[in-house]
Structure 1
Amino acid sequence: MTISYPNLRDTSRFPGFAAIPVEDLDTHELTPGRDGCLLLEILAFETVPSLVIGTRSTDLHLVTLRFEGPDQGRALSQCPHLKVGNTIAIMHARKHQFGIEVYGIRVFEYRALKIIPTSLDELLELSDEMRTWPLNFAAHQRCHWCRNVPDQIITCDGCGVIGYCNSGCKAGSWNVNKHKEFCAVIQNQNFRSLIAEMEHE
């Protein structure tokens, strides 16, 4: 299977909170809206008595996630990536009414939710960079720093994707081209599965 990279800024596939459908939990009817993957940055969270996460969407809405499944989010509250500043991706997200003209998202299961260990802005920046990458997270043959194609490239030991000519280029890539921030994200299985799933949506 060939994996190319979806543009995370594409609002037809990654809509903002205002654009997603509203789901009536009594009738399961949906108002018109854009189906896709909702990206949210974690601003705060509480784990007692149930998991509640405060987030910011790409269209700058403040969005509350309430976990109302059988374990009320207790399993997810143990996730090491559940941290302020990280990003949550929710496939086929639906708005739910919490009160009069107050909307958020009620989460009943975790299958459609992924936590990615970077901020929303950094994730979008990485998506921009990936538009020029070889497919399938293949190891790069072009140096990430100087853009030359050396006879023998040094591939990053962490992500196995980014390449360098030498230690000097590695330092430039790591410190200036932000691979220090992106390396762990590229390795993250939630991130890779999000890219694969959205490529085939």
Structure 2
Amino acid sequence: MPRNKKPQSILRNRVNFPPFNGLPDEAEIDLIYWDEGPFGFAPSQHWCFLGEIVDFIGLARVLLYVKDKDGQVITVALHTDDRGRALAPQVKKGHTVAVLYGEQHGFLDMSVGLRVENASNIKIIPCSLEQLLSASDDIAAHRGQPRHCGSCGKENTSENRHCLRLCSRCKQASYCGEDCQKKAWVDGHKVDCKALAGVQWFAGKNWIEFDDYFCF
């Protein structure tokens, strides 16, 4: 009898969420992400790079040094109109940067990375990359399962379905009431909540069918 497959964790998908070496090169047409049509090449699916900030500088423009899923450290250079100044207050070591439609770019100093020109293509998520990936795994594992209190473990049944309430921020954790919610917050949800909330934007999109560009 075949084993049940584990649900797909969306951010573990290495096609739509590739490490740096899986990104298309800016000088080539990558047929994983582009299709040829009657009017030339057009995107066929969406992709997003995720990396954890290990260092940054912000003199003439904001430069981020980020570690991808495979541990490779690359440069993310902000060539937006404001050179990244609006994003700068959110930049912290240990946070995760997400870049939509990133392409491998070779800089003049011979380093490789991402050149971001559109401010709506980049976002800082206030948690580590591992926390974000773990939150994605958690959402996938509990998809379709009965809800239960994140503190005492009470399950959501037909008798008490109106008693459990969702966390207003992450929309994932459920609680019997205020006491359980406060206890869970102190016990760890304060950290998990940011990561779960970060995953929600990605989980709400169809990444394999392209209709129009996404933006943050």
Normalising to structure 2: TM-score of the pair? 0.71
Report the counterpart of residue 123 of structure 1 in structure 2. Answer: 132
CA distance in 1, matches of 2:169, 2:106: 43
Letter in 1 for 2:84: G
Q: Take 1:46 and 1:77, find their aligned partners in 2: how far apart are those partners?
A: 9
Contact 1:20 1:33 in 2 (8 A): no
The answer to whether the 8 Å contact 2:16/2:208 transfers is no
Q: How big is the shift at 1:149?
A: 1.7
CA offset at residue 143 of structure 1?
1.5
Question: Is 1:23 aligned to residue 26 of structure 2?
Answer: yes
Distance 2:82 2:69 in 1: 29
Distance of aligned partners of 1:198 and 1:59 in 2 relative to their CA distance in 1, 3 Å threshold: farther
Structure 2: which 5+ residue stretches go unaligned?
1-7, 34-45, 210-216
Please say which of residues 35-44 and 95-104 is displaced more in the overlay. Answer: 95-104
Residue matched to 1:58: 69
Which of residues 87, 94, 97 in structure 2 aligns to 1:85?
Answer: 94
| Cα separation, 2, equivalents of 1:200 and 1:146 | 38
- Asked if residue 192 in structure 1 is aligned to residue 191 in structure 2, the reply is no
Give 1:83 deviation, angstroms: 1.2
The change in CA–CA distance for 1:102 and 1:30 in structure 2 (over 3 A counts) is farther
Between the two proteins, what is the percent identity of the paired residues?
Answer: 28
CA distance in structure 1 between the partners assigned to 2:82 and 2:109 by the alignment: 27
User: Partners in 1 of 2:124 and 2:168 — Cα distance?
Assistant: 23
Distance between the aligned counterparts of 1:167 and 1:72, measured in 2? 44
1:97 Cα deviation (Å)?
Answer: 0.9
Matches within 5 A, 1:10-159: 10-24=13-27, 29-30=28-29, 36-78=47-89, 81-99=90-108, 102-133=111-142, 141-149=147-155, 151=160, 152-156=163-167, 158-159=169-170
Number of corresponding residues: 185
Q: Which runs of 5+ in 1 are unaligned?
A: none
Give the residue type in structure 2 aligned to 1:127: S
Q: Which shifted more, 106-115 or 179-188?
A: 179-188
CA distance in 2, matches of 1:39, 1:90: 7
- CA drift of 1:54 comes to 0.7
TM-score, normalisation: structure 1: 0.75
Q: 1:182 aligns with which of 189, 192, 196?
A: 192
